């Protein structure tokens, strides 16, 4: 059976429509079903000077796009946010999730959203990750960013820095390791993943002199995984953990700005944001809405292409 990938474009005034149109100028190896306003797509393609034929049936051909229509509530001007379209963004996401859960789609690729617009529209929305967790009725999910062999997962993601130490518990680190190891097997086909685990404190706590989270929380979890035969190393100092590139299949960081600065410096614009722990694969771009680039033709579609290619390769192979 041919695979079908649901695609949501996120904020209509951002670069989501641009990068999808740009990427779809090339043929694809799986059918992409875009959940969006066809009038928005036609107008954006015209502005970009790119050919686009909108189909109602599945197509993988260059310059053609299968669209399941969702109408925006207000006219869209590239770069200009309008809270009246907040519900439109959520509707496309809800359709994509429902379709993945009922078998209509095999995987979900998402474009960048503008959280402020959704909140201004009266929608409590903190990000794709939490929304997908709740929509799928799962207790735990894990954010993983990947660019080729470089992969970074986060024990905590969009949490204030002052809250992080209280969130780094043995149970949370253990769950993150389980989701990461399972995801590396299921999504990337790595039979025996090797994971490097970062400490929380500078120098991984310096033997307790700079904090005891490594001794009391992180090391016992790592030791238990090693005792069970897993390839887990750490806790390691976060300032040198990325010097191990090539030795590990993934790095597990304790918080957002511990793991992602080094990752994005090395791979920004070509990385994929993956949500592990869902009953289907969700892959997304690694960047925001870039309102200043919308409609300019200067947006980089590399991350969108990478997300779509990952979804095509993993769809139907089992949930992460």
CATH of the domain at 212: 3.40.718.10
Crossing angle for the helix pair 170-186 and 219-227, to the nearest 10 degrees: 50
Instruction: Identify the three-state secondary structure at position 284.
Output: strand
Phi first, then psi, for residue 210 (nearest 5°) are -115, 20
Residue 202 lies in a domain: yes
How much is the average pLDDT of 190-201? Answer: 97
Phi first, then psi, for residue 275 (nearest 5°) are -105, 110
57, 111: one domain: yes
Would you say residue 140 has pLDDT above 70? Answer: yes
Burial code (b: 16+ CB inside 10 Å, e: under 16) for 13-40 equals bbbbbbbbbbbbeeebebbbbbbbbbeb
How much is the average pLDDT of 263-269? Answer: 85
**Are 89 and 12 in contact, with CB atoms under 8 Å apart?**
yes
Distance CA 206, CA 249 (A): 25
Residue that finishes a domain, picked among 267, 287, 303: 267
Would you say residue 307 has pLDDT above 70? Answer: yes
* Count of domains observed in the chain: 2
Specify the long-range contacts of residues 41-47, CB closer than 8 Å, at least 24 apart.
41/17, 41/65, 41/67, 43/76, 44/17, 44/18, 44/78, 44/295, 45/21, 47/78, 47/295
pLDDT confidence band for 1 (50 / 70 / 90) = very low
Residue that finishes a domain, picked among 244, 267, 290: 267
How much is the average pLDDT of 212-219? Answer: 98
State the pLDDT at residue 157.
Answer: 87
132, 84: one domain: yes
Sequence-distant (6+) residues with CB within 8 A of 70 are: 35, 36, 37, 88, 91, 92, 95
297, 212: one domain: no
133, 161: one domain: no
200, 69: one domain: no
Sequence-distant (6+) residues with CB within 8 A of 102 are: none
Would you say residue 320 has pLDDT above 60? Answer: no
Q: Which one-letter DSSP state was computed for residue 291? A: G
131, 150: one domain: no
Distance CA 107, CA 85 (A): 24
Residue 272 lies in a domain: no
Return the number of other C-beta atoms located less than 10 Å from residue 10's C-beta.
25
What are the pLDDT digits (tens) for 143-176? 999 998 999 999 998 899 999 999 999 999 999 9
199, 100: one domain: no
150, 120: one domain: no
Would you say residue 319 has pLDDT above 60? Answer: no
pLDDT confidence band for 246 (50 / 70 / 90) = confident
How much is the average pLDDT of 210-235? Answer: 97
Cis check: omega of the bond before 258, within 30 degrees of 0: no
Looking up tokens 């892959």, which residue turns up? 283
Distance CA 23, CA 100 (A): 22
Distance CA 313, CA 320 (A): 13
152, 215: one domain: yes
State the pLDDT at residue 119.
Answer: 94
Distance CA 14, CA 293 (A): 8
**Are 191 and 231 in contact, with CB atoms under 8 Å apart?**
no
Residue 167 lies in a domain: yes
State the pLDDT at residue 314.
Answer: 57
Would you say residue 106 has pLDDT above 80? Answer: yes
Residue 215 lies in a domain: yes
83, 161: one domain: no
State the pLDDT at residue 3.
Answer: 76
Residue 256 lies in a domain: yes
Residue 273 lies in a domain: no
**Are 258 and 84 in contact, with CB atoms under 8 Å apart?**
no
In the chain, % of residues over pLDDT 90: 87
Residue 126 lies in a domain: yes
Return the higher-pLDDT residue of 34 and 316: 34
How much is the average pLDDT of 58-65? Answer: 90
Distance CA 172, CA 145 (A): 19
- The reply to whether the predicted model has a pTM over 0.85 is yes
Would you say residue 226 has pLDDT above 50? Answer: yes
Return the higher-pLDDT residue of 57 and 86: 86
150, 126: one domain: no
Distance CA 226, CA 8 (A): 40
Residue 35 lies in a domain: yes
Return the number of other C-beta atoms located less than 10 Å from residue 261's C-beta.
11
pLDDT confidence band for 266 (50 / 70 / 90) = confident
**Could you report how far apart the first and last alpha carbons of the chain are, in Å?**
21
- Residue numbers of the domain that contains 69: 1-138+278-320
154, 134: one domain: no
Residue that finishes a domain, picked among 267, 286, 307: 267
State the pLDDT at residue 317.
Answer: 42
């Amino acid at each position: 059976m041919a695979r079908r990938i649901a695609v949501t474009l996120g904020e209509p005034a951002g670069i989501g429509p641009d990068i999808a149109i740009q990427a779809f100028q090339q043929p694809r190896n799986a059918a992409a079903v875009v959940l969006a306003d066809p009038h928005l797509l036609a107008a954006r393609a015209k502005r970009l000077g790119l050919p686009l034929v909108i189909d109602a049936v599945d197509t993988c051909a260059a310059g053609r796009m299968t669209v399941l229509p969702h109408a925006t509530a207000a006219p869209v001007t590239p770069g200009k946010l309008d809270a009246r379209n907040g519900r439109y963004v959520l509707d496309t996401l809800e359709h994509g999730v429902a379709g993945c859960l009922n078998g209509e789609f095999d995987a979900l690729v998402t474009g960048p959203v503008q959280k402020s617009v959704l909140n201004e529209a009266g929608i409590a929305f903190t990000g794709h990750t939490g929304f997908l967790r709740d929509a799928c009725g799962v207790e735990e999910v894990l954010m993983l960013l990947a660019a080729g062999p470089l992969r970074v997962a986060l024990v905590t993601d969009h949490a204030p820095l002052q809250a992080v130490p209280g969130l780094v518990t043995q149970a949370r680190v253990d769950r993150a390791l389980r989701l990461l190891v399972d995801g590396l097997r299921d999504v990337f086909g790595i039979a025996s993943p090797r994971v490097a685990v970062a400490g929380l404190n500078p120098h991984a706590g310096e033997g307790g002199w700079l904090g005891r989270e490594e001794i009391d929380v992180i090391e016992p979890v790592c030791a238990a995984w090693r005792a069970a035969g897993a390839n887990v190393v750490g806790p390691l100092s976060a300032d040198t953990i990325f010097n191990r590139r090539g030795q590990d299949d993934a790095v597990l960081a304790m918080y957002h700005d511990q793991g992602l600065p080094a990752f994005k410096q090395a791979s920004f614009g070509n990385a994929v944001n993956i949500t592990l722990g869902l009953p289907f694969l969700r892959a997304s771009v690694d960047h925001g809405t870039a309102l200043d680039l919308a409609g300019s033709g200067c947006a980089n579609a590399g991350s969108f292409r990478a997300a779509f290619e990952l979804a095509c390769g993993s769809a139907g192979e089992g949930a992460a």
